[in-house]
Structure 1
């Protein structure tokens, strides 16, 4: 008979996640040992939030739920922001929290909080582990975490249950379901295909659901069949290669994409999740049809037809049934790209953030995986960095949390051990996760961290300036990036020119070591860029 923690470790490994990550407590040691005996890695993080973000990023990229853990009380409370990221950025995640044994939990006060209640608003399901039901709990948890829309599931683990024998199931279902999706029927799709065929200028708006059904190739096929330009959310960058002539750019919830969308006569949303959009009223009266694997419950996008099904199969069928469309897409996409470039090309004294991004994209290899922090620079990174494949650009968008880029990059490095990984972050966001540089070095997970240093919390400075409020409480500055990096055993340098940045990236690629490149930038153009691209 296997113990509870042995059954749990077996399940995590079977689901495709060969490691645990986090900051453990005393109640975790039996699970850690069970994992070690199964050749599963344990990655010790310096912050529980960073551990959850790393594990969530692994889940996003691989589809296998990442597994993060914390001690009871302060550890569980500190991990909340990382779990919130998994919830709002739709990442499959198994959240493990230590807990006192049943008797102590009922009478103890110190370090005791109701952890199931704490996480309840953030997780798709939460449960307290019991050795008699753990096998079924794991099956429900894994299926819940990975089912569209993916998200976190919490297991509260009492010390008293960890080494008990886990009850066997008489008839044990598979850990993850073996689903069969029948091919869509031509006749059933007729209302949709008739509507699409009647359009002369359709535009595609693609979101995360494209990745959930691994339907990137089919999205491109539909765009080519219709001759339609494609806008994607920031979480969906790379669903259409960003050097494809029909790729327009990213939806950022602002003014500039409206020029393109308003030229269309039909909006086709594909896998669009409302959490990816700005929380404001839908700005278009143009007819909308929606293709998705899950029904829209938020009523934000006013679609006249909503077709549900596996997007890989559904898009493939639409491409066949609605081929030989118009040819307006390439010109419309090119015009949009030019408009974005012109809006971002604001004057600067010294190195501008937009030019820094252009240099980074020119030097880093095509297959580089990029992560991006929240903040003023994110607007530029989303628009300027080009990704050429699914899940090659990773960011916190639904939650929009600072401190994501570095742990996200570590998750990407675990998923892609042989590809370059770069983290784009502002100075403020980097300082929130700076301790994980030690994790990168200690765990041999080399990443390149490009810190866009304007010595301010740039996004708040932008909002103060736009609202006519004097700058106050937003200054950072005074950081020696080289010494900070070296203190953690990483490489570090500071640059303020294009050539300096270019050389620093080349050296980092050649060294294969975790490297921090502090890039002194002039962020004075942020206000004009924000005014041109989006509403605040």
Structure 2
């Protein structure tokens, strides 16, 4: 690498790791060096309107591509504004490399925009570097390795202009070598497998709850095989939706710690948590007295339930070892089908009417091409979407579950459209969530992303209003003014369509599906419809 600047060497190394684009809002220092080097190594810089959205896009890119996502910010307000998106990557287990400018060595007199950026991020990051060592590329490799090791998460690289403009040192042995593959998850211990086998061997009617660790292809395949061998029902966390196709007779529906799945789990005599990370579970105690066996790729800091047996290691290997632990036949096909239909009925009750959020989701699901990927924002609309959308494969549904942040769906949909341009993408969001990220409609328009954004516009913080009413508090502080979001979208260069009735939904969808760029469907819904559906699903 003689004559190559460190900045160039870093970008080249990112390309060798499989990175194809990075996201952010640049500053005038190190950002310019990286943007300059990117096209020479096949990388695209995606300019976003805000740093939080850029972090979400980078994290989602990592989820979909299996390579680290890269976020670039400037120092001070740029990095601070990205913290919500970095926290999203930390709690949703996405490998994310955060790049930001630091203060130059000769700027000891400068107070402007100075804060301890590494300390700000340290509760969220798994590693940090300022490239102080003899081999900056090796430092980058180490950071990316830490980001991808289970549980995956963000790492931080603080860039100093003086340093990255130096010539890259020639290091014996190595910086040009291909990146080392992500470390393999260890095999499960025989003693742990024996303990799990003993617990499961006493069960006749186990139920499986699959979580985000099951998204990897080998783990998802092993889960499907295990469920088929046992003939037992499978629930899935929101992040794991699609690990078992929802057309499969054994797929029942989401696990949210609520009323919808309660009858099924109370009819089980054991529960297998298959790759379920505690960050996915609701903030309430586990309420089932039957034995729990936990299969996880790694030990967790805060166990959600006191498991009768825990097996840490490769999920596929654990599933293979436990395949004959349960004799099939404890569940009937009619029982499992009945549980599935009962859960669906809670989200799509006739009394809610033909233009309820559930009815809207069902109509959209029936109209869009099979395999359409969706991104879902936090809010009351999330419950019918996640209950009714027919996911057929892992990562067909993108959602923030560990952080459960609003403002996620639109940037996630943009990242999905960039990662797989030929695959249709829908974003489901509320008006509150959209307004937290609305500027990214301009990003979608500028990039020509073919996405459809469905906004449930009820002018209310509906999910919080439900909780407020349950506590019998005065209903105040939850209402927005009614916004014309279709007009907002047109102002950003998107096709914006207003939908106020069941009759208008079909024609608007057809226009949206025929469009060559981003479309926003501004769907006016009654906030009162959420109270019943939240009560039925969550309890």
* TM-score over 0.5 (shorter chain): yes
Tell me the secondary structure at the aligned position of residue 118 of structure 1.
Answer: helix
Partner of 2:276: 272
**Contact 1:229/1:329, CA 8 A, preserved across alignment:** no
How far apart, in 1, do the equivalents of 2:126 and 2:414 lie? 25
User: What are the superposed Cα offsets for residues 465-502 of structure 1, whole Å, 9 maximum, x if unpaired?
Assistant: 22222322222243223321211111110112234222
User: What are the superposed Cα offsets for residues 178-229 of structure 1, whole Å, 9 maximum, x if unpaired?
Assistant: 6566877989844433432331101101111112464112111100100110
1:283 Cα deviation from its structure 2 partner: 1.2
**Contact 1:350/1:522, CA 8 A, preserved across alignment:** no
| CA shift in 2, pair 1:112/1:184, >3 Å | closer
Q: CA RMSD for the aligned pairs? A: 2.0
1:61 Cα deviation from its structure 2 partner: 1.4
Partner of 1:243: 247
Say whether 1:61 aligns with 2:64: yes
Partner of 2:169: 167
| CA shift in 2, pair 1:349/1:225, >3 Å | closer
Partner of 2:502: 498
Q: For residues 91-490 of structure 1, what are the structure 2 equivalents within 5 Å?
A: 91-104=94-107, 106-130=108-132, 132-172=134-174, 174-177=178-181, 179=183, 189-212=193-216, 214-319=218-323, 321-322=324-325, 324-328=327-331, 330-344=333-347, 345=349, 347-348=351-352, 351-490=355-494
Which has the higher mean CA deviation after the structures are superposed, 411-420 or 493-502?
493-502
1:16 Cα deviation from its structure 2 partner: 1.5
How far apart, in 2, do the equivalents of 1:184 and 1:279 lie? 29
How far apart, in 2, do the equivalents of 1:476 and 1:181 lie? 48
How far apart, in 1, do the equivalents of 2:185 and 2:534 lie? 43
Tell me the secondary structure at the aligned position of residue 225 of structure 1.
Answer: helix
Which has the higher mean CA deviation after the structures are superposed, 356-365 or 519-528?
519-528
Say whether 1:14 aligns with 2:16: yes
How far apart, in 2, do the equivalents of 1:35 and 1:451 lie? 35
Tell me the secondary structure at the aligned position of residue 102 of structure 1.
Answer: coil
Say whether 1:84 aligns with 2:87: yes
How far apart, in 2, do the equivalents of 1:38 and 1:296 lie? 38
**Contact 1:138/1:175, CA 8 A, preserved across alignment:** no
Which has the higher mean CA deviation after the structures are superposed, 117-126 or 181-190?
181-190
How far apart, in 2, do the equivalents of 1:14 and 1:401 lie? 32
- When normalised by structure 1's length, the TM-score is 0.95
| CA shift in 2, pair 1:181/1:423, >3 Å | closer
How far apart, in 2, do the equivalents of 1:405 and 1:524 lie? 23
In structure 2, runs of 5+ residues without a counterpart are none
Tell me the secondary structure at the aligned position of residue 453 of structure 2.
Answer: strand
Aligned length: 533
Partner of 1:44: 47
In structure 1, runs of 5+ residues without a counterpart are none
How far apart, in 2, do the equivalents of 1:43 and 1:110 lie? 27
User: What are the superposed Cα offsets for residues 81-110 of structure 1, whole Å, 9 maximum, x if unpaired?
Assistant: 000100111111111111221221x33100
1:114 Cα deviation from its structure 2 partner: 0.8
1:457 Cα deviation from its structure 2 partner: 1.4
| CA shift in 2, pair 1:102/1:166, >3 Å | same
**Contact 1:213/1:312, CA 8 A, preserved across alignment:** no
1:244 Cα deviation from its structure 2 partner: 0.9
